[in-house]
């Protein structure tokens, strides 16, 4: 996975800048669910076996998890 990301880093950064947004200029650019849905739909990967219902769970699985070390 590391090699695939390194080989496609420029493309991934361009996609992130193109489809992401930030609330203020000082905040980092993020891609929210509506933007992610538009990105996937614009990519043309929606087929009979991969429908629009798959996008939400895919977005949730892509989120970085954090462990609550106190509780």
- Does residue 33 form part of some domain? yes
Whole-model pTM over 0.85? no
- pLDDT of 9 > 80? The answer is yes
pLDDT digits (tens, 9 = 90+) for 44-54: 888 888 888 88
Residues 6+ apart with CB under 8 A from 21: 29, 30, 31, 32, 35
**Joined tokens for residue 25:** 């200029």
| Nearest Cα to Cα of residue 29 among 38, 18, 37 | 18
The predicted model gives 6-12 an average pLDDT of 95
Domain that holds residue 48: 2-61
Per-residue pLDDT band for 59 (boundaries 50, 70, 90) equals: very high
> What's the CA gap between 26 and 21, in Å, rounded?
11
The total number of structural domains that make up the chain: 1
- Does residue 66 form part of some domain? no
- Does residue 71 form part of some domain? no
pLDDT digits (tens, 9 = 90+) for 35-46: 999 999 999 888
- Does residue 36 form part of some domain? yes
- Does residue 68 form part of some domain? no
- Does residue 69 form part of some domain? no
- Does residue 24 form part of some domain? yes
């Amino acid at each position: 996975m590391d090699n695939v990301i390194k080989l496609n880093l420029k493309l991934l950064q361009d996609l992130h800048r193109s489809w992401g947004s930030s609330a203020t200029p000082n905040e980092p650019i993020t891609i929210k669910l509506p933007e992610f849905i538009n990105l996937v739909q614009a990519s043309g990967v929606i087929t009979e076996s991969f429908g629009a219902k798959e996008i939400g769970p895919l977005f949730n699985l892509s989120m970085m998890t954090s462990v609550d070390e106190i509780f």
